[in-house]
Chain A
Amino acid sequence: MVSPVLLIAVPLGLAFAMPLIALISRRLPRFVPLVACAFNLIVAIRLIPTVLSAPVIQRIGGFSPPFCINLFAGPVGVMFAGLIALAGLVIAIYALSYIRTGPTVRYHMLYMLLLVGATGVVLTGDVFNLFVFFEVLCISSYALVAYFGDRNGLEAAAKYLIQGAVGSALLLMGIGLLYGLFGTLNMADIASRIGSVSDISVFVPLALIVSGLGVEAAIFPLNAWLPDAHSSAPSSISAILSGIAIEVGLYAVVRMIFTVFGATSIFMFLLFLGVLTVLMGELCAFAQTNIKRMLAYSSIGQIGLIVFAFAMASTISLAGGLFQLLTHTLSKALLFLAAGYMIHRSGSMEISSLNGMGRRMPLTSLAFSFGAFSIVGLPPFIGFPSKFLIVRSALEKQQTLFTLLLGFVLLGTLVEGAYFFRVVQAIYFKKSGDEPASRSLAPALPLISMLILAVLIIFVGIYPQPVADALSTAASDLLDRAAYIGSVLR
């Protein structure tokens, strides 16, 4: 049985080996991320069947759990690792031909370390280890946002760094307080001792950790960095940030709230926060003229929708939230990749410059509209089953409050439909400006990656059953706190 620690160790080893490979030959390092992501994908797929029945606890260093760092490879963790590997693979293929200028070897190293950080956060069972891998994820995304070195990129990276650093400092303070209170860092151990302390002194570390992780998870007041970072980063990086980084941050917040603190009383607050994030994200996106900035704001909206789903804390709502998360990863990555080459072709990021792109780049525009349709949640695409699950879980609560909040969230999706269709219209039905519509397809590699994402979106959209079952077991794993503690501390 392959051990989950390989998911982190092998890509990290390859990342460390990259400078040596670069010394050997200039062209080889570009393919190392592909190898690492493919390896991770295979390991994750092989792990999923065993993990669906019982989580795999991997002890690092050979000591019994509370005294060592253990990797908790539950259904959620391994599914996330698979998703990270899949999106990483697709975007690495895209980046092969998209990233030409600048220190490309360092780009690929940072890209791989970003994926290692994400996989680490998702698999670890130790609070401080979560902080360390979270830092690997954050610092590599600061550097990658500033990769092009233009005015916008550097400004966005500086702002993202300062906010991220404040977030990490708060997170570290929270972990310090937790250690002070309970004397242990293992998540399951903390979870088992959480009751032994008064209410206020449990809440302050929770508040610190939630706001620390919330900065990366782009919850409403803390996500001021996201529009700048995702719109001025290179498109492959915006895709990986929107597709993976914020989802991993959100997973960390949810894991801390559900499993470690078991703070069931904070859900009502999260519910309102989620709805607020949806409305904020969608309204701001509606007023945008820059295509990538619009996609960034729509990511905020989608994250709000996922937080709304998680905050309802029933198995169906968690499954819906995870499904929506999968939808957002695949379709937002596809949108950013397609937008990347459209901007490359049309020269500017303004939506008006995308007019008539349907003729000039037919396949990329088709990919873009697939992504747009699936994010809005139209039937044959992956967005529909996830929206269906979220609506079902909200209505199953049979309370007028939830129906009202669901109304606001659906209003948000309506506004989202409005601005996405506005762009699809501009691409297909507006005449492009002066020069004749010479048809120039994007180069082969990006088309392959867009094709893979498009096929996935449609296939899971039409036949969502296996994914929905796997996600409902994952949801019950997230919800079932006692099983988590029991399996780790047995």
Chain B
Amino acid sequence: MSFLEDYAYYFGAFGLIFIGLLIMLVKHNLIKVIIGLSILDTGVNLFLISVGYISNGTAPIFCRDDMDPSRMVDPVPQALVLTAIVIGVAVLAMALAIAVRLYQRYGTLDLRKIKELRW
């Protein structure tokens, strides 16, 4: 039980990261690769937050004055993840815009066929 206790979130986070990387490595369709990218980002964010967790802690917001600061969860990773999620969205939006225009130019999204720039 205690093993699960410790490594559930890490297992989930790095599972997502490696599945995301696997999609990007294996798949040929550009949209599928971008989906892999989004899963990779979610995985990294999950890992960041699980690093900052305190066992049986509380959310770092003083809704009542008498909350004990020492039991509060680490706020810094949450600040980082807020920024990281929005950066992930920015990259995804840019990727999909380029994918759409690429489809208009090439007529296909299969990366094995989009190989004019090589050597």
State the A residues within 8 Å of B (CB).
128, 132, 135, 139, 142-143, 146, 149-152, 154-159, 161-162, 165-166, 168-169, 172-173, 175-176, 179-180, 185, 227-228, 231-232, 287
Instruction: List residues of chain B with CB within 8 A of the CB of A154.
Output: 98, 101-102, 105
Partner of B94, one of A143, A149, A155: A143
Docked Cα-Cα span, A168 to B41, in Å, equals: 10
Contact B44 A176 (CB under 8 A): yes
Docked Cα-Cα span, A94 to B19, in Å, equals: 45
Q: Which residue of B lies closest to A228 (CB)?
A: B117
Q: Which residue of A lies closest to B34 (CB)?
A: A162
Instruction: List residues of chain A with CB within 8 A of the CB of B80.
Output: 128, 175-176, 179
Q: Which residue of A lies closest to B45 (CB)?
A: A172
Minimum distance in angstroms from B92 CB to a CB of chain A: 9
Chain B interface category by residue count? 20 to 34
The tally of CB-CB contacts under 8 A between chains A and B is: 90
Contact A158 B98 (CB under 8 A): yes
The verdict on A162 contacting B24 (CB below 8 Å), with A142-B94, A156-B117, A228-B117 known, is yes
| 22-40 of chain B: CB within 8 A of chain A | 24, 30, 33, 37, 40
Instruction: List residues of chain B with CB within 8 A of the CB of A228.
Output: 117
Minimum distance in angstroms from A320 CB to a CB of chain B: 32
Contact A176 B51 (CB under 8 A): yes
Could you give, for residues 85-102 of chain B, a 1 whenever the CB lies within 8 Å of some chain A CB and a 0 otherwise?
Answer: 001001100110011011
Q: Is the interface of B mostly helix, strand, loop or mixed?
A: helix
Contact B90 A172 (CB under 8 A): no
A-B pairs with beta carbons under 8 Å apart, 16 shown = A128-B83, A149-B105, A150-B105, A151-B116, A152-B117, A154-B101, A158-B30, A158-B98, A158-B99, A162-B33, A172-B48, A176-B44, A176-B80, A180-B51, A227-B117, A232-B117
Contact A173 B47 (CB under 8 A): yes
Instruction: List residues of chain A with CB within 8 A of the CB of B102.
Output: 154-155, 158
Instruction: List residues of chain B with CB within 8 A of the CB of A150.
Output: 105
Minimum distance in angstroms from A425 CB to a CB of chain B: 23
Partner of A132, one of B30, B83, B106: B83
Could you give, for residues 50-92 of chain B, a 1 whenever the CB lies within 8 Å of some chain A CB and a 0 otherwise?
Answer: 0110000000000000000000000011001001100100110
B8 within 8 A of A: no
Instruction: List residues of chain A with CB within 8 A of the CB of B21.
Output: 166
Instruction: List residues of chain B with CB within 8 A of the CB of A185.
Output: 76
Docked Cα-Cα span, A157 to B24, in Å, equals: 16
Contact A158 B37 (CB under 8 A): no
Contact B106 A151 (CB under 8 A): yes
Q: Which 8 A-B pairs have the closest CB atoms?
A: A180-B51, A228-B117, A176-B48, A154-B102, A151-B105, A169-B40, A172-B44, A158-B98
